[in-house]
Amino acid sequence: MAPPRFLAFSGLVLALTVSTFYPAHSSPSTMGSRLQTLSPLALGFLLGLLVAETPLASALQQLFGLTTRNPDKVGLDILHGGINSSSSSSGDDLADKKKAELNQRTMYGLQHAFLNLEVTGWWFNMGLWDKVSDEKTLMDKEKTTPRFKAMRFQDACQALVRKVTDGLDISPKSHILDVGFGCGDQDVYMAQLYQPAQITGITIEPIQHHAAEDLIRRTATPGTKIDLHVADASALPAFLESNPEVLPNNQLFSHVISIDSAYHYRTRAQFLKNASKVLQPGIGRLAMADMILAKPVPTSFLGRKVFDAVFGAMEVPAVNMKSLEDYKKDLTEAGFVDIEIECIEDRVFPGLASFIENQLGRLGGLVKPGVHWTYWGLCKGLFWLDRSKWLHFVVVKARKGNSLSS
Ligand SMILES: C[S@@+](CC[C@H](N)C(=O)[O-])C[C@H]1O[C@@H](n2cnc3c(N)ncnc32)[C@H](O)[C@@H]1O
């Protein structure tokens, strides 16, 4: 059955044709009276063209720059993943039929996606994802990728926070310095988990600080004072100097935490030295989720250029991309002892990649193309990282040594 809009459009074309060529009976057929009849119809014809869903209309819509998304289509795009996957299994005819059905005009469509989308926070770490099993299954796209349980992004992010903070003896007396806090979700979460006396956070991005402040204002964290600032982790001493109220009376932090952020600092080795200086000697704890190299840095000229360019694009100073041995050395030289490093990349990169892949299928039509393609690239990059084993994603825990100076 032809869609109603197509019929309306055809009706308009017919009306226009008749009015142009059928001579009027009541008045002599002059050019002026013809034009009077013609103009409202021509206008209707034009409007009809702009809203109709026909190939000719599409061409005209493009010409007039009117191809912004139809709200119905935005909702329908959610289902496009379903169409694509059915085309391979059930044949092209069925896929075409489904596509035609989905493209029909609807009364409500799926615009109510707006009412159902839930923003559960602004979490932003790579997450710790639960595997279903270690066995390789045929269902996996990459065939070498273990399958992961369907988890919400925020649950995987919270799992990473627990992994980093577990066993650190955070108590109601603790004062945590949280470096690179994102949008503050991890601070609220740590407050709920451990009720430390105070969390002081720094981030380099004012817009994230703004979102975090908003979250803190809206969320009660009884027993914990959360203080957030815009500051560069690479300039920790300058931050503390200009904010003396953070550590009054020569106090020091009980914990320095940095989740999925330290590889950005210029440089991380310098940050570790500064972090060590502001921790209580003998008891202060450092805990980080971080990234380091799992393979040697390329030695060829071209290889080195590509290496620098890739990490440069990710805003990661190439000097931070160190081997496990050099990483341990940096920690030791900064004055840390009891250093524990666990490599967990097999529960991070492929888990996040699978999640993004699913998310693109579910929400593809709801996001701007720029965002869509950014995450598509990230997803492919993470699958590649998982296969190539270039990077370690590590959880580091260490204690500040007894020395006061380092
Ligand atoms: C991948 S995000 C992780 C955010 C947060 N930890 C979370 O889990 O939601 C990395 C964060 O590090 C912050 N960051 C990067 N370089 C920084 C620097 N030099 N000083 C402070 N924060 C920095 C970024 O603003 C960003 O919020």
Q: What tens digit of pLDDT does each residue of 228-273 get? A: 999 999 999 999 999 999 999 999 999 999 999 999 999 999 999 9
265 CA from centroid of ligand 1 (Å):
9
The C-alpha atoms of residue 49 and residue 66 are separated, in whole angstroms, by 11
DSSP category for residue 23? P
Please tell me if the CB atom of residue 186 comes closer than 6 angstroms to any atom of ligand 1.
yes
Q: Is the pLDDT of residue 103 over 70?
A: no
The C-alpha atoms of residue 256 and residue 178 are separated, in whole angstroms, by 6
Predicted pLDDT of residue 371: 80
pLDDT-based confidence at 17, cuts 50/70/90? low
**Mean pLDDT over all residues of the chain?**
81
Q: Where exactly are the structural domains of the chain?
A: 4-24+31-68, 75-116, 153-400
Asked if 179 contacts 233 with a C-beta cutoff of 8 angstroms, the reply is yes
Please tell me if the CB atom of residue 53 comes closer than 6 angstroms to any atom of ligand 1.
no
Write out the CATH class of domain 153-400. alpha beta
Q: Is the pLDDT of residue 314 over 50?
A: yes
pLDDT in tens, 282-312: 999 999 999 999 999 888 888 888 888 889 8
State which of 189, 204, 239, 395 you would mutate to test the pocket of ligand 1, scoring each by most atoms of that ligand within 8 A of its C-beta: 204
Please tell me if the CB atom of residue 200 comes closer than 6 angstroms to any atom of ligand 1.
no
Ligand 1 atom 4: the closest Cα is on which residue? 182
260 CA from centroid of ligand 1 (Å):
7
132 CA from centroid of ligand 1 (Å):
30
The C-alpha atoms of residue 392 and residue 387 are separated, in whole angstroms, by 12
Q: Which of 276, 290, 238 is nearest to 403 (CA)?
A: 276
Q: Is the pLDDT of residue 79 over 90?
A: no
Q: From the alpha carbon of 205, which atom of ligand 1 is closest?
A: 25
Asked if 298 contacts 217 with a C-beta cutoff of 8 angstroms, the reply is no
Q: Count how many Cα atoms sit within 13 Å of the Cα of residue 138 in the half-sphere of its side chain.
A: 0
pTM: 0.75
Q: Is the pLDDT of residue 108 over 80?
A: no
Asked if 216 contacts 121 with a C-beta cutoff of 8 angstroms, the reply is no
Ligand 1 atom 26: the closest Cα is on which residue? 182
Predicted pLDDT of residue 6: 52
- Burial tier of 363 (Cβ tally within 10 Å: 0-12, 13-18, 19+): middle
Work out the percent of the chain whose per-residue pLDDT is above 90.
54
Please tell me if the CB atom of residue 205 comes closer than 6 angstroms to any atom of ligand 1.
yes
**Which range is least confidently modeled, 37-41, 114-118, 150-154?**
37-41
State which of 203, 314, 382, 393 you would mutate to test the pocket of ligand 1, scoring each by most atoms of that ligand within 8 A of its C-beta: 203
Q: How many CB atoms lie within 10 A of CB 22?
A: 10
Ligand 1 atom 5: the closest Cα is on which residue? 182
| CA–CA–CA angle 93, 95, 98 (5° rounding) | 110
